[in-house]
């Protein structure tokens, strides 16, 4: 069972604009959250990769 959240009219309009086809607001939010989680993960991996190269060079 899902929870209900309140959003103002501006956010509701923006969610509609982000929707692909018949996506629900929930699906839009899930997709965007996954995108940002993956982007954060990529940054972490890149930072660790650079650190490894630095340590190897020393």
23 Cβ neighbours under 8 A, 6+ residues apart: 31
Spatial distance between the Cα atoms of 19 and 25, rounded to a whole number of angstroms: 7
Answer whether residue 56 shows pLDDT above 90.
no
Answer whether residue 1 shows pLDDT above 80.
no
Is 57 in a helix, a strand, or coil? helix
Spatial distance between the Cα atoms of 16 and 33, rounded to a whole number of angstroms: 16
- The domain spans of the chain are 9-57
pLDDT at residue number 42: 86
């Amino acid at each position: 069972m899902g929870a209900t959240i309140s959003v103002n009219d501006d956010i509701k309009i923006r969610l509609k604009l982000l929707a692909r086809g018949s996506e629900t607001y929930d699906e839009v939010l899930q997709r965007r959250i996954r995108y940002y989680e993956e982007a954060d993960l990529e940054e972490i991996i890149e930072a660790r990769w650079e650190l490894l190269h630095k340590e190897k060079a020393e």
